Structure 1
Amino acid sequence: MARIPERRSLRRRLRPYFTVFDWPLGLVLFMLMITSVIIMSSAGAEFPDRLEHQIRNFLLAFAVMWVAANVPPQMLMRLAVPIYTVGIALLIAVAMFGIIKKGARRWLYVGVDIQPSEILKIATPLMLAWYFQQRANANNWKSFLIAAVLVLVPFILIAKQPDLGTALMVASSGFYVIFLAGLPWKALLGMGIAGAAALPIGWSMMHDYQRERVMTLIDPTSDPLGKGFHIIQSEIAIGSGGMMGKGYGKGTQSYLEFVPEQTTDFLFAVYSEEFGLIGNCFLLIIYLMLIARGMMIAANAPNTFSRLLAGAITMIFFTYAFVNMGMVSGILPVVGVPLPFMSYGGTAFITLGLGAGILMSIQRHRKLVQT
């Protein structure tokens, strides 16, 4: 008598599709996204489609994260050089044929407008992690010098667009890999001294609007209705939130539209006004949990490539949060860096979702190796 195949339960059939996720990391990301939806519904009240589009961005980032989580680190290692090479080629194409918007040549039309510099935020640490994996037992001055060149090439191409904010993000992502690979403290000290000595040269090479941002940071009241308006209104919003905040939907600075870009770069100012210091502490704890989980994944990674890549991606999350909160609070110049997993924006969500997916892939395949 033929044996009837046992029907698997729905749970067992769906389980393979969800085992790719690292649940501690996924829980932290879920908390950030829920917080984003709550504050976006308030900050974007004057933009009816903004919340709907943000949810779409969440779903798109989730899809990218799921795909990345299914790609083994060994495959990522093989793709490192091609992805980096394609990214550099696209940056060169932008310099030659790119679309100019608002005085900057940052986009390339390939049926739709794309911003290739975003690719390098992941491609650069991916390439450097592969490079140091190949030279795991031969890290010397020559190795670090070649790694620095791999970082400088995209940095220069992006800075010339001009897009100094993205260029610095790409450079920092590459620096984290070099640092985690064992860059000597003497080299760090030398780089610090050289950087300080080169400040006058760097100042002379900056564009006028970049120098104005630095001067505005030093004294925003010098042009309170112009260049300093963003910082001043943001600081007022943060300060007026007090300890407990004014309450959800009751932020006067955002409601009266004094806070600029309140759903994107300055979302943190709206959040601070409505939820106050207590809310800010809660948000900081969530970001600390995100960074702690990423560092734990990096520390337990099975090889040099995975360890360096996971550490760099985690520090990218830290840099996003630190720079955004710093610029909104008036301690850093205003640059186009969103609050990770919270600010409105499609491109940034794809990049961040890709990074989170890579972390999950590293964690998942470490478990598979152990079993």
Structure 2
Amino acid sequence: MNFDLSQEQMMIKKTIREFAQEEVAPGAVERDRDKKFPLDIFNQLANLGVMGLPFPEQYGGAGADTISFAIVTEELSRACGSTGITYSAHISLGAAPIYLFGNDTQRIKYLIPLCTGKSLGAFGLTEPNAGSDAGGTNTSAYKKKNEYIINGNKCFITNASFAKFLALTAVTGKKKEKKEISAIIVPTDAKGFTIVNQYEKMGLNASNTTELILEDVEVPQENLLGKEGEGFKQFLQTLDGGRIGIGAMAVGIAQAAFEKALAYSKERKQFGKQLAKFQITQFKIADMAMKIELARNMVYKAAWLKDQGKPFSKEASMCKLYASEICMEITSQAIQILGGYGYMREYEVERMMRDAKLLEIGEGTSEIQRMVIAREVGCI
């Protein structure tokens, strides 16, 4: 087993870490407070050539691997969770389905703008009554001549306000009373397509989270991804890849909280000595470091399996579940180490804890991950 990063991966890590420290981190507090989307940062990331990082060069990508994607997501999230989730969703939810299931014409038309940063990627899956139970999708698409007529609404959709198009799931028919769900690419400027950006969120305030309303939206049948009825299978595969991104996000946020707590424990004095000299603080710091390393290794393993073309559903769920839960734990402990200062916005760890909570919910809750793992190990 070789745990060394390749030269290319190390170069990507160095480049993105420097970029994140210089361009992303300085405005994170203000963006969270003002709910300002970091559009300028994504224009710069496009110039760096990472908006299509794991996709082939023929579609405007960089031809890199999933581990590199995880590295970039971790480093961006270490500086700002909102930036991290925007990037992760762009790659794993927006661009990946088009690459995985689209034909070459669709890839040229839709994947190239995503890889070059001309549009942000988004994916319309969740509905008011179809969250963990994604099979409960009620958005419908029926055929009329050479078009699909789509009606329904989606909620909690990341990046849609900055996407020129997105793939979404809709019921296109029934087979033996079972819904046949398909994935269809829909331009966001289509007549009858409305994006509502009014959510008041606990965290990740600088990211874009929207509701989609579709009223008799017409798109050509050529916008179907793959075949009719394959949408359910497609989004399950899409979410597997997305869970690696969420795991990487969690590692990045946890790493940032750990670094804040460690630095503070060396500076702050209580009862005549540094907090870091107290064994109880040392034990907290040691546990934090250990859990972050374990989570990072699990993320890299899932990413490596994906890159090798091996099954990775179990490992993706494990890395997402473990990393998200230790991220919540570590950000909470970081606040505890900082004490009253940890509760203050300027010290940033309170933002990290608010951002971390979504990671236990999005792309499959912790409960869903445990169901997936139980199934994969033969329990179900």
TM-score per shorter chain, which class? under 0.3
How high is the TM-score relative to the length of structure 1? Answer: 0.27
Higher Rg of the two aligned structures: 1
More strand by share: 2
More helix by share: 1
